[in-house]
Amino acid sequence: MVSAARGSKRAAVSAPHHPKVHPNGAASSATFSYQQLREKARAIRRDILISITEAASGHPGGSLSETDILVALYYGVLRHDPQNPAWPDRDRFILSKGHACPGLYTVLAHRGYFPKADLSTFRKLGSHLQGHAKIGTPGVEMSSGSLGQGLSFGIGVALAGRLDKRPYRTYVLLGDGECDEGQVWEAAMAAAHYKVDTLTAIVDRNGVQNDRHTDEVMQLEPLAAKWRAFGWRVLEIDGHSFPALLRAYHQAQETSGQPTAIIARTVKGKGVSFMEGNPAFHGRAPTKEQLAQAMGELGFSGAEVAAAMKELGFPEAKIAEWTGPMK
């Protein structure tokens, strides 16, 4: 016997609203070429690092590993309106690993949810861009930072959409270290039980958590088999490949009767040699000298960084001080 909440109501709601090709997904991925998405991601990595350097604290590693996951979503998949962040039918994105908010803030600013200049206020008193994501910042759906809670919250959001007959989908980004939390697995069990097929979990499988590699702290493998055993459709992909990311998101949209987990294999600190796979840069800001090296490795000249810093609202003196030594 299938209850109304789990069965026919959901099917009646989801079928007409989730056509084979997601309306905005198709339009957006046609609008932005893979090359344009790569360029966007490069600029977003630059601005993440500038804002963390200015704050002299923050989480660069997990922000750089999630960048492509977020760029693919915000530029190629989500039905959203940055001018109207409270639009009731918007797709929801929930950053469960709330410490990696510099990645989210920078994507939101580039997408037009708030001025890019706000990024230079990251972690400062009075700024709406605090060290962990919080409700009140346009585009932020959940206050997060205490790991393990976002998937449960996402189920609630998705079930509310089912009850309200809203067409939106819900995406939750989890860290792999975060998957050590028992609440993640309670939520995984509940989402499959309630057949929440409008819910997609993405695991940023970068292999590093706070100060050590994930599998030293807690053996997660076989991670895909675990999600499958909990009743999820599982897609394992390269989390830095835009074709793979967009394909996986679209496959999730076409899945009915079960939620989808995308295990995105990524590199913590992606794009910056001394941060890649390095637990030391989980929660430490680069120095000005390290920023200069990182900008070079991302392919930015001093003049390009200066232009970006100007857009981010930095005063001329600081721009000159920081970019002077850059090539």
Q: SS3 letters for 244-269?
A: HHHHHHHHHHCCCCCCEEEEEECCCC
Q: Which helix (H) or strand (E) is 9 found in, with range? A: helix 8-17
Q: Which stretch binds ligand TPP (CB under 6 A): 60-68, 101-109, 239-247, 286-294?
A: 60-68
Q: Distance between CA 23 and CA 183 in Å, rounded?
A: 33
Measured from the CB atom, the residue of 259 and 269 that comes closer to ligand TPP is 269
Burial status of residue 245 (CB atoms within 10 A of its CB: 0-12, 13-18, 19 or more): buried
What is the total count of residues that contact ligand TPP (CB under 6 A)?
Answer: 22
Per-residue string for binding with ligand TPP, 77-116, x by CB under 6 A? --------------------x-xx----------------
Beta bridge partners of 123: none
Span 266-285, contacts to ligand TPP by CB under 6 A: 268, 282
Looking at the Cβ atoms of 36 and 146, the one nearer to ligand TPP is 146
Cβ closest to ligand TPP, residue 97 vs residue 284: 97
Considering only 44-52, 54-62, 77-85, 270-278, which stretch makes contact with ligand TPP by CB under 6 A? 54-62
* Rounded-to-integer distance, Cα 114 and Cα 104, Å: 12
Query: What is the SS3 assignment for 261-325?
Result: EEEEECCCCCCCCCCCCCHHHCCCCCCHHHHHHHHHHCCCCHHHHHHHHHHCCCCHHHHHHHHCC
Question: Least distance in Å: CB of 71 to ligand TPP?
Answer: 16
Instruction: Give the nearest residue (CB) to ligand TPP.
Output: 175
In the complex, minimum distance from the CB of residue 65 to ligand TPP, in angstroms, rounded to a whole number: 6
| Nearest-approach distance from CB 229 to ligand TPP, in angstroms | 21
- Nearest distance, CB of residue 327 and ligand TPP, angstroms: 30
Q: Residue 127 Cβ, how far from ligand TPP at the closest point, in Å?
A: 20
CA distance 134 to 123: 12
Q: Tell me the sheet residues that pair with 234.
A: 261
Binding mask 161-180 for ligand TPP (x = CB under 6 A): --------------xxxx--
Q: Provide, rounded to whole angstroms, the least separation between the CB of residue 174 and ligand TPP.
A: 7
Site track for ligand TPP across 198-217, x = CB under 6 A = ------x-x-xxx-------
Q: Mapping DSSP to helix (H, G, I), strand (E, B) and coil, where does residue 92 land? A: strand
Is the backbone of residue 207 left (phi > 0), alpha (psi -120 to 50) or beta?
Answer: left
Among residues 103 and 302, whose Cβ is nearest to ligand TPP? 103
* Among 267, 265, 266, 232, CA closest to 251: 232
Q: Does 219 bind ligand TPP (CB under 6 A)?
A: no
Instruction: Compute the chain's Rg from CA coordinates.
Output: 19
Integer Cα distance of 70 and 75 in angstroms: 8
Considering only residues 132 through 161, tell me which ones interact with ligand TPP, judged by CB under 6 A: 145-148
Q: Between 80 and 282, name the residue whose CB sits nearer to ligand TPP.
A: 282
- Collapsing DSSP to helix, strand or coil, 204 comes out as strand
Whose Cβ is closer to ligand TPP: residue 154's or residue 302's? 154
Nearer to ligand TPP, 77 or 223 (CB): 223
CA distances from 254 to 70, 128, 146, 157, 236 (A): 20, 36, 31, 19, 16
Binding residues for ligand TPP, rule: CB under 6 A, are 59, 61-62, 65, 97, 99-100, 145-148, 175-178, 204, 206, 208-210, 268, 282
